[in-house]
Amino acid sequence: MKLAFIGLGVMGFPMAGHLQQAGHQVCVYNRNSAKAADWVARFGGTSGATPAEAAQGADMVMLCVGNDDDVRSVVYGDEGVLAGMQAGALLVDHTTTSARLAEELAEAAGKRGVRFIDAPVSGGQLGAENGALTVMIGGSEADVAEAAPVLAAYGKKVTRLGPVGAGQRCKMVNQICVIGAVQGIAEGLMIAKKAGLDIPTLIEVLAGGAAQSWQLQNRAQTMAEDQFDFGFAAQWMHKDLGICLDEAAQQGLTLPLTEHVHQVYERLLAEGMGRCDSTVVIRALES
């Protein structure tokens, strides 16, 4: 298929590469044109000077940028993807955004004869590089069925949750569960370190029981070693939890753990740790 991929960050760069390697014709766009040139040099394909140019003639256009405002900046206007997309094409947003934005985009795309699905991903940079992401989708059954074989280039699990917005709401649940595990591991490690337990042995034991999780097996050791120069950035988790709390407010819900960890990230960002891995929450306990 002829595809466009907008946004070549730590996730988008390898995701777009998997599409090109799967045999699709991919045209990319990135705000930093040097990054787009690097991608073309590595994977082939082409790049566009604007999102609209990259999207021209594409059967599907994928977005993977930072937040709601970033999405709007590459979708709307004379240089946005909707200005370049042909009627009948499919717009796929992999950005983690509010569900309200997904519904807004579906309406705006529909006015241009363009179809839309929200498809946030989980698995982090490593999952993107290995083509092993979990893709959570909101959209019509027909649109998701059309997109799924393409998204399988980087998605080991591609699942429709419901209508537009359902993918983003699923991602909210994902992030809440992740930070719950991370906060629990951080607090557990405080006891383990104070008691002088051997951390590798501890992790091995816990991994064989009910405490087992991806976070435990992949991040507990690095948390104990005060290593945070990798992985999903704290600033992005802070953003995602803000989306979760906004959604909860709309639903008349209170999320005490999410509110607490969101405030922890607020402090860590103020202390200059926004680019650290999101497991840096343990530093707030240690201080």
Residue 50, classed as helix, strand or coil, is coil
**8 Å CB contact between 137 and 119:** yes
Determine whether 2 is an active site residue.
no
Q: How far apart are CA 55 and CA 88, in angstroms?
A: 13
Among candidate residues 41, 101, 48, 59, the one with its CA nearest the CA of residue 239:
101
The half-sphere exposure of 83 on its side-chain side, counting CA atoms within 13 A, is: 14
Angle, helix 214-224 to helix 199-207, in steps of 10 degrees:
170
Residue 153 DSSP label: T
Among candidate residues 216, 268, 210, 212, the one with its CA nearest the CA of residue 238:
268
CB neighbour list of residue 264: distance below 8 Å, 6 or more residues apart: 281, 284
Out of 35, 171, 194, 239, pick the active-site residue. 171
Host H or E run for residue 192:
helix 166-195
Host H or E run for residue 92:
strand 90-93
Q: How far apart are CA 86 and CA 109, in angstroms?
A: 11
Residues involved in catalysis:
171
